Amino acid sequence: MQGIRDDEFAMSPNGLHVGHTQAEVDFLVDIFGRWEFSAFVEIGVHVGGLADIFADVAPHYLGLEINDAIVDDLVKRKVSASPNTELRFADAWAPLTIVDVAMWLQNKRPAFIYCDGGDKPKELHLYAPVARPGDVIAVHDYGTYDRAEISPSRADGILKNRGFIRFDPYHEQGSNVRIAMWRR
Protein backbone atom coordinates (compact mmCIF):
# COMPACT_ATOMS: atom_id res chain seq x y z
CA MET A 1 0.00 0.00 0.00
CA GLN A 2 1.30 3.41 -0.89
CA GLY A 3 1.16 6.39 1.44
CA ILE A 4 -2.08 8.33 1.66
CA ARG A 5 -1.99 11.66 -0.15
CA ASP A 6 -3.52 14.70 1.55
CA ASP A 7 -6.18 14.96 -1.16
CA GLU A 8 -7.37 11.40 -0.39
CA PHE A 9 -8.56 12.27 3.11
CA ALA A 10 -12.27 12.79 3.47
CA MET A 11 -14.13 15.83 4.77
CA SER A 12 -17.28 15.57 6.86
CA PRO A 13 -20.56 17.19 5.74
CA ASN A 14 -19.64 20.22 7.87
CA GLY A 15 -16.15 20.51 6.39
CA LEU A 16 -14.19 18.81 9.16
CA HIS A 17 -11.08 16.77 8.41
CA VAL A 18 -11.65 13.02 8.72
CA GLY A 19 -8.53 10.96 9.42
CA HIS A 20 -9.77 8.44 6.84
CA THR A 21 -9.72 8.34 3.09
CA GLN A 22 -13.02 8.81 1.28
CA ALA A 23 -12.81 5.12 0.36
CA GLU A 24 -12.60 4.23 4.07
CA VAL A 25 -15.55 6.45 4.98
CA ASP A 26 -17.60 4.94 2.15
CA PHE A 27 -16.57 1.46 3.32
CA LEU A 28 -17.64 2.12 6.93
CA VAL A 29 -20.95 3.75 5.97
CA ASP A 30 -21.73 0.92 3.53
CA ILE A 31 -20.93 -1.85 6.04
CA PHE A 32 -22.84 -0.08 8.80
CA GLY A 33 -25.96 0.33 6.68
CA ARG A 34 -25.80 -2.97 4.86
CA TRP A 35 -25.52 -5.00 8.06
CA GLU A 36 -28.04 -2.81 9.92
CA PHE A 37 -26.07 -2.09 13.04
CA SER A 38 -27.90 -0.27 15.80
CA ALA A 39 -24.92 1.44 17.44
CA PHE A 40 -21.53 2.83 16.47
CA VAL A 41 -18.93 3.25 19.23
CA GLU A 42 -15.89 5.27 18.17
CA ILE A 43 -12.82 5.01 20.37
CA GLY A 44 -10.68 8.04 19.60
CA VAL A 45 -12.86 10.86 18.23
CA HIS A 46 -10.01 13.31 17.63
CA VAL A 47 -11.32 16.40 15.79
CA GLY A 48 -14.65 14.69 15.20
CA GLY A 49 -14.91 14.32 11.43
CA LEU A 50 -16.10 10.72 11.63
CA ALA A 51 -18.41 11.65 14.54
CA ASP A 52 -19.95 14.33 12.32
CA ILE A 53 -20.72 11.64 9.73
CA PHE A 54 -21.90 8.86 12.05
CA ALA A 55 -24.08 11.16 14.15
CA ASP A 56 -26.28 11.25 11.01
CA VAL A 57 -25.78 7.62 9.95
CA ALA A 58 -26.04 5.58 13.15
CA PRO A 59 -29.30 5.13 15.07
CA HIS A 60 -27.08 5.40 18.20
CA TYR A 61 -23.59 6.94 18.29
CA LEU A 62 -21.14 7.06 21.20
CA GLY A 63 -17.74 8.71 20.83
CA LEU A 64 -14.94 8.41 23.38
CA GLU A 65 -12.14 10.96 23.54
CA ILE A 66 -9.79 11.71 26.41
CA ASN A 67 -9.08 15.31 25.35
CA ASP A 68 -12.18 17.44 24.92
CA ALA A 69 -10.08 20.38 23.67
CA ILE A 70 -9.30 18.65 20.34
CA VAL A 71 -12.94 17.92 19.41
CA ASP A 72 -14.41 20.64 17.20
CA ASP A 73 -17.14 22.70 18.88
CA LEU A 74 -19.48 22.10 15.94
CA VAL A 75 -19.35 18.35 16.62
CA LYS A 76 -19.91 18.90 20.34
CA ARG A 77 -23.03 20.98 19.60
CA LYS A 78 -24.33 18.58 16.95
CA VAL A 79 -23.92 15.51 19.14
CA SER A 80 -25.39 17.17 22.23
CA ALA A 81 -28.46 18.26 20.22
CA SER A 82 -29.46 14.69 19.40
CA PRO A 83 -30.91 12.31 22.00
CA ASN A 84 -29.28 9.29 20.31
CA THR A 85 -25.73 10.59 20.09
CA GLU A 86 -23.22 11.17 22.82
CA LEU A 87 -19.61 12.19 23.34
CA ARG A 88 -17.86 11.10 26.50
CA PHE A 89 -14.63 12.78 27.45
CA ALA A 90 -12.99 9.99 29.39
CA ASP A 91 -10.08 7.58 29.32
CA ALA A 92 -11.29 4.81 26.99
CA TRP A 93 -8.89 2.38 28.67
CA ALA A 94 -10.21 2.95 32.20
CA PRO A 95 -12.20 0.01 33.61
CA LEU A 96 -15.13 2.26 34.56
CA THR A 97 -15.35 3.64 31.00
CA ILE A 98 -15.40 0.13 29.55
CA VAL A 99 -18.20 -0.86 31.94
CA ASP A 100 -20.11 2.33 31.02
CA VAL A 101 -19.79 1.49 27.31
CA ALA A 102 -21.04 -2.05 27.92
CA MET A 103 -24.04 -0.67 29.79
CA TRP A 104 -24.72 1.94 27.06
CA LEU A 105 -24.71 -0.85 24.47
CA GLN A 106 -27.00 -3.12 26.46
CA ASN A 107 -30.11 -2.52 24.30
CA LYS A 108 -28.37 -1.29 21.16
CA ARG A 109 -27.40 -4.42 19.29
CA PRO A 110 -25.90 -5.35 16.98
CA ALA A 111 -23.09 -2.88 17.63
CA PHE A 112 -20.05 -1.74 15.67
CA ILE A 113 -17.11 -1.00 17.99
CA TYR A 114 -14.44 0.99 16.18
CA CYS A 115 -10.92 1.15 17.65
CA ASP A 116 -9.15 4.25 16.39
CA GLY A 117 -7.48 5.70 19.46
CA GLY A 118 -3.88 5.79 20.55
CA ASP A 119 -3.19 2.09 21.13
CA LYS A 120 -5.18 -0.19 18.86
CA PRO A 121 -3.91 -3.52 20.26
CA LYS A 122 -4.84 -2.38 23.77
CA GLU A 123 -8.29 -1.25 22.58
CA LEU A 124 -8.93 -4.61 20.92
CA HIS A 125 -7.95 -6.38 24.17
CA LEU A 126 -10.15 -4.13 26.31
CA TYR A 127 -13.25 -3.94 24.11
CA ALA A 128 -13.43 -7.51 22.77
CA PRO A 129 -15.20 -8.65 25.96
CA VAL A 130 -17.83 -5.89 25.47
CA ALA A 131 -18.87 -7.36 22.10
CA ARG A 132 -21.82 -9.76 21.98
CA PRO A 133 -22.83 -12.26 19.27
CA GLY A 134 -23.56 -10.36 16.08
CA ASP A 135 -21.39 -7.37 17.04
CA VAL A 136 -18.35 -6.29 15.05
CA ILE A 137 -15.10 -4.92 16.41
CA ALA A 138 -12.96 -3.08 13.90
CA VAL A 139 -9.63 -1.33 13.85
CA HIS A 140 -8.24 1.51 11.74
CA ASP A 141 -4.63 1.83 10.52
CA TYR A 142 -4.41 -1.93 10.04
CA GLY A 143 -1.99 -3.57 7.67
CA THR A 144 1.58 -4.06 6.65
CA TYR A 145 2.27 -0.66 5.07
CA ASP A 146 4.65 1.95 6.51
CA ARG A 147 3.21 3.63 9.62
CA ALA A 148 0.53 0.97 10.15
CA GLU A 149 -0.44 0.97 13.82
CA ILE A 150 -1.42 -2.69 14.06
CA SER A 151 -0.29 -5.67 12.02
CA PRO A 152 -2.61 -8.43 10.78
CA SER A 153 -0.82 -11.08 12.85
CA ARG A 154 -1.07 -9.01 16.03
CA ALA A 155 -4.75 -8.15 15.56
CA ASP A 156 -5.77 -11.66 14.51
CA GLY A 157 -3.85 -13.09 17.45
CA ILE A 158 -5.69 -10.87 19.92
CA LEU A 159 -9.14 -11.90 18.68
CA LYS A 160 -8.58 -15.47 17.51
CA ASN A 161 -9.29 -17.19 20.83
CA ARG A 162 -12.03 -14.79 21.92
CA GLY A 163 -14.80 -16.04 19.68
CA PHE A 164 -14.27 -13.66 16.75
CA ILE A 165 -13.93 -14.46 13.06
CA ARG A 166 -12.44 -12.16 10.45
CA PHE A 167 -15.27 -10.26 8.79
CA ASP A 168 -14.60 -7.95 5.89
CA PRO A 169 -16.66 -9.00 2.90
CA TYR A 170 -15.80 -5.91 0.86
CA HIS A 171 -12.13 -5.45 1.69
CA GLU A 172 -9.84 -5.62 -1.30
CA GLN A 173 -6.13 -6.27 -0.96
CA GLY A 174 -4.11 -3.33 -2.15
CA SER A 175 -6.90 -0.83 -1.59
CA ASN A 176 -6.53 2.28 0.52
CA VAL A 177 -8.97 0.86 3.07
CA ARG A 178 -6.85 0.41 6.18
CA ILE A 179 -9.66 -1.14 8.23
CA ALA A 180 -10.08 -4.70 9.47
CA MET A 181 -13.16 -6.17 11.14
CA TRP A 182 -14.01 -9.23 13.20
CA ARG A 183 -17.49 -10.44 14.05
CA ARG A 184 -18.47 -12.25 17.23
Query: Do 181 and 31 touch, CB atoms closer than 8 A?
Result: yes
The highest-level CATH class for domain 39-183 is: alpha beta
Q: What share of the chain is helix, strand, coil (3-state, %, to 5)?
A: 35, 25, 40
Evaluate if residue 89 carries a pLDDT over 90.
yes
Query: Do 29 and 57 touch, CB atoms closer than 8 A?
Result: yes
Q: What tens digit of pLDDT does each residue of 115-171 get? A: 999 899 999 999 999 999 999 999 998 876 767 788 888 888 899 889 999 887 555
Query: Do 87 and 69 touch, CB atoms closer than 8 A?
Result: no
Say what the pLDDT of residue 1 is: 45
